[in-house]
């Protein structure tokens, strides 16, 4: 163990020992027992963390894990084996079906005019192919900020490569526009466009000659090939177009769709509660990834933190009042398909769910507990966060993360707690070729896993239950008041976890 880890271990133990100062005075021996357990968990999580070992195995031995692929199934089997080796109980997989599968093929591009040079491109997920051998075509632009008008006149895109730009002022919100983008792409296909450059708005890596991949909506597939190019190559294309020059490309993209349904599964293991085993705290990260690299920061870090948190609690010998259910999701990158399936499969249990904890914001240290719209829980959570001050300062807010597996829990009226991270480098690694093990610092990962372990146990062992699900009407009101309703409707997610309660 290096000196930095030893210092961190001492800090965690010191932080845990101050719980009696940061929190209200203990009211029963159970409170003291909780604090004693947290000290043990902090010690094992910090001084004997296997988090980076787990991440190394996942990244190097399995690598990219696109949902529905053989590699993803290998990761599912690996995750179940790890949970069993840690000593979790009730380890099993819960199968669910993806609407269709997709496999990346080759993606090559060359600028033919006004000058000749190779271009760096990657296909967006669940998008189609050019004819074998590729196509030569001129570029025309379409304005993402004015999709409604662009869809009224698509004839000009026939036989062209459509370069999607964002010009002027948007006439609708970003999320409404992005929700319409799949329909725009379908109309381009009908019109005879041969390829599209665009789709990574708001997510494109900031230079470094990196491309970005991803899906173009929730459970969306597009027959037209859609590609991402680097900031540097895209900048040159845009300058040529602004100068009125004809830009002609050769593009060859070969992907493969697999008819559905395609089977996948979530991986589940538990530490059963000693007093209220029916009450459940979910602790999770997503096992699937994109395929340009190893998927280490998205979301191998989350997977490793979940397993290491479980490991630390088991090693400590502590058993919480309530059940801690550790889940590794698949299908997150296709629109939370795995966690939405969980909500359906466990619908009868949802009234007994207390909260869900998710880590999925890159490779940085945890900086904020985001309570998923549950502002009434801030005062309860703040003393616990303060007790971790010797590890690092962590804010507590009611912010919502609706772009990860917290979303289905929030929609079902539960606290979907996001462990938000300080990850400035994530703009480079997110869905790119840079998403590799080298981007992750072992000591930061160990710290994140420690915080996840302490948070999980604290939530599960509190004398009183942290929260119960809100009724649908109250969740609807909260989402409207916080301005999230438009985003949800844009993606067709306003179904409270897809459980059949649809509030319009």
Domains, the chain, in order of start with CATH, read 3-17+26-99+261-490 (3.40.630.10), 102-258 (3.50.30.30)
Sign for the CA dihedral angle at 499, 413, 307, 41 comes to negative
The CA distance from 276 to 444, in Å, is: 33
CB 121 within 8 A of CB 211: yes
Place of tokens 């698949």: 330
Which residues, in sequence order, are CB contacts of 75 under 8 Å at separation 6+?
A: 58, 62, 65, 287, 288
| Strands annotated E in 191-290 | 195-197, 226-229, 248-253, 256-258, 262-271, 276-286
- pLDDT value for 318: 97
CA separation, residue 193 to residues 157, 272, 355, 375, 396 (Å): 5, 55, 46, 48, 48
**What's the DSSP call for residue 498?**
T
Q: Which pLDDT score, from 0 to 100, does residue 217 have? A: 85
Map tokens 């895109």 to a residue: 157
| Contact status, residue 55 vs residue 445, Cβ threshold 8 Å | yes
- Mean pLDDT, rounded, for 471-480: 92
The whole-number pLDDT of residue 413 equals 96
Residue 149 has pLDDT above 90, yes or no: yes
179, 297 contact by CB (below 8 A): no
CB 35 within 8 A of CB 16: yes
Q: 291: closest CA among 211, 224, 364? A: 211
Phi then psi for residue 322, to 5 deg, are: -110, 165
Rounded Cα–Cα distance for residues 276 and 278 (Å): 5
Distance CA 342, CA 340 (A): 5
- Whether this model's pTM surpasses 0.85: yes
Element (H, E) at 421: strand 416-421
For residues 352 and 19, what is the distance between their CA atoms, to the nearest angstrom?
A: 27
Angle at the Cα of 337 from the Cα atoms of 400 and 335, rounded to 5 degrees: 55
Whether the per-residue pLDDT at 27 is higher than 60: the answer is no
First to last CA, the chain: 55
> How far apart are alpha carbons 211 and 428 in whole angstroms?
9
Of 62-76, 297-311, 470-484, the poorest mean pLDDT is in 470-484
Confidence label for 500 from pLDDT (cuts 50, 70 and 90): very low
Question: Would you tell me how many other CB atoms lie within 10 Å of the CB of residue 386?
Answer: 17
Name the pLDDT band for 485 (thresholds 50, 70, 90).
Answer: confident
3-state secondary structure of 108: strand
pLDDT value of residue 204: 58
Tokens of 112: 């033919």
pLDDT confidence bin for 11, thresholds 50/70/90 = very low
State how far the Cα of 233 lies from the Cα of 210, in Å rounded to an integer.
10
pLDDT digits (tens, 9 = 90+) for 159-190: 999 999 988 988 777 778 888 899 999 999 99
**Maximum Cα interatomic distance, the chain, rounded to a whole number of Å:** 77
**H or E, element range at 130:** none
pLDDT tens string 185-228: 999 999 999 999 986 664 555 789 999 999 998 889 999 999 99
Q: What backbone torsions phi and psi does residue 420 show, to the nearest 5 degrees?
A: -65, 140
Q: How far apart are CA 7 and CA 326, in angstroms?
A: 28
Determine the pLDDT at residue 20: 35
Which residues have C-beta within 8 Å of that of residue 181, sequence separation ≥ 6? 144, 147, 199, 216, 217
Q: How far apart are alpha carbons 396 and 489 in whole angstroms?
A: 27
- Find the length of the chain: 504
Question: SS3 for 222?
Answer: strand
Average pLDDT over residues 89-114: 98
- In this structure, how many other beta carbons lie within 10 angstroms of the beta carbon of residue 173? 13
- The per-residue pLDDT for 200 is 61
pLDDT of residue 175: 76
Contact present, 318 and 40 (Cβ < 8 Å): yes
Residues 6+ away with beta carbon under 8 Å from 239: none
Where do we find the tokens 């491309």?
211
Cis peptide before 277 (omega within 30 of 0): no
Q: How does the average pLDDT of the chain come out, rounded? A: 90
């Amino acid at each position: 163990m290096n000196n930095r880890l030893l210092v961190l271990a001492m800090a965690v133990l010191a932080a845990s020992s101050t719980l009696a100062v940061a929190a209200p005075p203990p009211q029963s021996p159970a409170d003291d027992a909780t604090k004693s357990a947290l000290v043990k968990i902090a010690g094992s999580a910090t001084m004997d963390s296997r988090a980076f070992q787990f991440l190394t195995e996942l990244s190097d031995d399995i690598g990219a894990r696109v949902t529905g692929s053989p590699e993803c199934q290998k990761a599912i089997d690996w995750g179940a084996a790890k949970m069993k080796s840690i000593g979790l109980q009730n380890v099993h997989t819960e199968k669910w079906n993806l609407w269709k599968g997709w496999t990346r093929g080759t993606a090559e591009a060359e600028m033919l005019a006004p000058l000749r040079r190779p271009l760096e491109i990657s296909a967006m997920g669940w998008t189609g192919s050019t004819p074998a051998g590729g196509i030569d075509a001129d570029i025309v632009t379409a304005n993402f900020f004015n999709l409604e008008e662009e869809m009224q006149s698509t004839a000009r895109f026939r036989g062209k490569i459509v370069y999607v730009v964002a010009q002027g002022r948007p006439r609708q919100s970003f999320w409404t526009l992005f929700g319409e983008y799949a329909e725009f792409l379908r109309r381009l296909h009908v019109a005879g466009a041969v390829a599209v450059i665009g789709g990574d708005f708001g997510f494109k890596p900031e230079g470094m000659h990196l491309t970005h991949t991803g899906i173009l909506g929730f459970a969306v597939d597009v027959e037209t090939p859609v590609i991402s190019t680097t900031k540097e190559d895209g900048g040159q294309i845009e300058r040529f177009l602004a100068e009125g020059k004809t830009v002609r490309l050769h593009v060859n993209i070969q992907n493969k769709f697999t008819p559905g349904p395609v089977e996948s599964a979530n991986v589940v293991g538990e530490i059963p509660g000693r007093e209220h085993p029916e009450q459940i705290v979910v602790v999770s990260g997503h096992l699937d990834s994109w395929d340009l690299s190893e998927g280490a920061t998205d979301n191998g870090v989350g997977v490793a933190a979940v397993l290491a948190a479980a490991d630390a609690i088991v090693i400590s010998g502590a058993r919480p009042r309530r059940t801690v259910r550790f889940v590794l999701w698949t299908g997150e990158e296709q629109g939370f398909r795995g966690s939405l399936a969980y909500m359906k499969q466990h619908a009868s249990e949802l009234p007994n769910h207390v909260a869900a904890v998710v880590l999925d914001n890159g490779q940085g240290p945890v900086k904020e507990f985001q309570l998923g719209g549950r502002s009434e829980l801030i005062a309860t959570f703040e003393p616990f966060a303060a007790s971790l001050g010797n590890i690092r300062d962590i804010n507590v807010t009611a912010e919502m993360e609706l772009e990860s597996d917290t979303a289905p829990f929030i929609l079902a009226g539960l606290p979907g707690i996001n462990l938000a991270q300080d990850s400035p480098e994530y703009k480079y690694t997110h869905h790119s070729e840079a998403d590799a093990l080298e981007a992750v610092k072992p000591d930061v990962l160990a710290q994140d896993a420690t915080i996840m372990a302490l948070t999980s146990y604290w939530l599960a062992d509190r004398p009183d239950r942290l929260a119960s699900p809100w009724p649908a009407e109250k969740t609807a009101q909260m989402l409207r008041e916080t301005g999230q309703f438009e985003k949800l409707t844009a993606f067709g997610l306003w179904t409270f976890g897809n459980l059949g309660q649809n509030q319009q």
